[in-house]
């Protein structure tokens, strides 16, 4: 017998926004915790949390540049000496990931020398007015 999932539907709380998000919980307890979290911090869609990143007719292009570099490892109390700096193995595009991807590309930071820059551009090209 499969376990039941609990679907939670969230509406963006920005006035007039009709965006919706769905998430699932595997237990009633998890469902309750998720609902309590969203009561404390109401859901806002990406249009209202990061509007500068949303492509539109007024904002048709976004470019981001990531640099492959070493990342300092968190200090381990009782293991690391005071002032000791350790680095995580390999290279990372940011503090969390050494692999990134998007439509048409995948890139491992460790495949390149430190300091390598990955520039990704997304651009919307609207059709000409007469073709509409």
Instruction: Note the pLDDT tens digit of each residue in 23-73.
Output: 999 999 999 999 999 999 999 999 999 999 999 999 999 999 999 999 988
Reported pTM: 0.68
Domain span at residue 47? 6-51
Final residue before a domain boundary, out of 15, 34, 51:
51
**20 and 81 in one domain?**
no
Does residue 123 belong to any structural domain of this protein?
yes
The predicted structure's pLDDT at residue 2: 62
**81 and 32 in one domain?**
no
* Total of domains in the chain: 2
**75 and 39 in one domain?**
no
Does residue 45 belong to any structural domain of this protein?
yes
The predicted structure's pLDDT at residue 131: 65
- CA 13 from chain centre, in angstroms, equals 20
The predicted structure's pLDDT at residue 79: 76
Does residue 1 belong to any structural domain of this protein?
no
Final residue before a domain boundary, out of 35, 51, 67:
51
Does residue 94 belong to any structural domain of this protein?
yes
Percent of the chain at pLDDT > 70 equals 97
């Amino acid at each position: 017998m499969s376990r039941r999932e609990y679907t939670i539907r969230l509406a963006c709380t920005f006035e007039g926004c009709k965006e919706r998000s769905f998430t699932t919980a595997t237990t009633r307890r998890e469902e309750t915790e998720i609902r309590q979290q969203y009561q404390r911090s109401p859901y806002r869609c990406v249009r209202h949390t990061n509007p500068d990143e949303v492509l539109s007719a007024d904002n048709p292009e976004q470019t981001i540049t990531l640099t492959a570099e070493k990342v300092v490892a968190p200090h381990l109390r009782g293991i690391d000496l005071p002032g000791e700096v350790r680095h995580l193995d390999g290279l990372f595009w940011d503090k969390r990931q050494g692999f990134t991807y998007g439509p048409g590309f995948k890139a491992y930071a460790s495949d390149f020398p430190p300091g390598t820059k990955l520039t990704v551009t997304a651009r919307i090209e609207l059709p000409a007015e007469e073709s509409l």
